[in-house]
Amino acid sequence: MQTPTDRFIMQWFLLHQTEYKLYPSRWILLTSVTLLNLANYSHWIAFASVAKQAAEFYHVSGSQVDLIPTLSYGLCIPFCLLAVFIVERRGLRTGLLLGAWLTAAGGALCCLATLPELFGKTWWSKHISFSLTVFGQALTGMGCPFISCVPTKVSQNWFGDSERSVATIILGMSNPLGLVLGQTLTPFFVRQPTELPLLNLVWFLPSLPGFLLTVCGVGSSLPPTPPSSSAASAIQSKRRPFMGTIVQLFRNKAFLIIFLFLGAAMGYISTLQTKLEQILCARGYSDQLAGLAAAGIIVAGFLASFPIGLLAQKTGKLIPISKVSCVPAVVLLGVMWWVLVQPGLPHLVLISCLLLGVFSLGIYPVMLELSVECTFPLDESVVTGLCYLSSAFQGVLLMFVENLFETPLQTEEELSIQTCRPVQQAIVTEDMEHMKAKDYTNYLLFINIYMAILIVVFFAFFNTEYRRTKATEPRNHSPVEENSLLKDLKSLQES
């Protein structure tokens, strides 16, 4: 609790501080969060990229293999509110420690479940091995929100104004980069079911340096002194009750629009990443093309986020830049709906996925910055955490509605070109159900219209004042303010 002296010192600091100190430990913090995000996201998506090999290795059905990434992703929803509460109440370091321990412990358990088979030994049955893997992935799913809700909190409280956008880009894009690494690289070293133990070992390793850096290198939730005037202003502002912060956020029209739009955008990308292999194999495309297309979305978005983010920082025009990027995205949604259900257009598939990444993921860091601008000085972890909760909830919803639009392939020509399972396979067993070719035309039409509607809502109705930017503007303080603070100091010294 702040004493009167503490409050006076902070007020005096805000009035007179013109240069702010940056601490080298901010890079340790950024590296630890980035590594933990990469390890967490790459591990759970890796199973979806080699589902056939995993089903054969564990001696389970395709639907049981799907339980691994689904459980990890689904646990993000209930644990998200817990994560933002702990980070907001107990501080950044406490939340990161919990996330690091859960990510490392979950990865270690998955690794232990299959490690003996790398050396040709068997310590337990396949059933126990599979159960340990599912439990390990559940732990990483619990730890994910503690890491994913902190990008803007780290960049706001540890980085200066000139570095903040780059820090947000690196931290914000570490999640999708983890997805592309797990989805793209895993099929190259897990070609046979016997090689599946490599998956658990390879994607456990990045969590170790992330865990050690967090435990040994992150010593506090905040730097000794603020890195910018907006950080100092946020620290000085009165702390609100947690539920009061939630209520205030949901009374903020600008935040509500970002909550729905940003959540839908990230949920849509996650859904497309998960379903793309099944969508494309139904039209005769290879798993390699599906992997390249999925990777193209993330890589293009990551590369585009730097010029878009830096342009937004330099010009201060976050709202116009984000809205201009939305216009091509609406057109692309219509193009992709047609392209993804047509056979024999591999180049168009790749080009449309690359462009989708540029105009959807490319503005993700800018949207994170906008979410802080419209809610300042409320806690950044709560703001980002609720956006993450929205993306997880809408992602699960968009994945679930596939069942409502499930349509088998109709014609002999469609059945002959599909590559989801061998054409000569007449009987589809339970183990092969996840490889069944379907017509995704209506499903893609639904999720693309859903996303297009929310883009239009954002374009037409979103507007906000830049509250954080205003807090960084230099203010001329009157002699009355100076004299008042001097009198306060004198009375504090006399008491």
Proportion of the chain above pLDDT 70, given as a percent: 86
Tell me the backbone φ, ψ of residue 38, rounded to 5 degrees.
-60, -45
- Provide the pLDDT confidence category of residue 3 given band limits of 50, 70 and 90: very low
pLDDT attached to residue 216: 93
Q: What is the pLDDT of residues 159-196, one digit of tens each?
A: 988 888 888 888 888 888 888 888 788 888 888 888 88
Q: Please check the confidence at residue 492 and state whether its pLDDT lies above 70.
A: no
Q: Can you tell me the mean pLDDT for 327-342?
A: 90
Q: What value does the mean pLDDT take over residues 227-251?
A: 79
Q: Residue 56: CB partners within 8 Å, gap ≥ 6?
A: 193, 431
Distance CA 382, CA 380 (A): 5
Does the pLDDT of residue 464 top 60, yes or no?
yes
pLDDT, position 17? 53
Could you tell me the pTM of the whole model? Answer: 0.79
Residues ≥6 apart with Cβ < 8 Å to 224: 21, 23
Q: Nearest 10 degrees: CA dihedral of 347, 350, 352, 354?
A: -140
User: What does the pLDDT look like over 12-42, one tens digit per residue?
Assistant: 455 455 567 899 999 999 999 999 999 888 8
Cα Rg, the chain, nearest whole Å? 24
495 has pLDDT over 60: no
Tell me how far CA of residue 54 lies from CA of 68, 128, 339, 399, in angstroms: 10, 14, 30, 21
Which residues on adjacent β-strands are paired with residue 438? 408
407's tokens? 């349509």
pLDDT at res. 402: 81
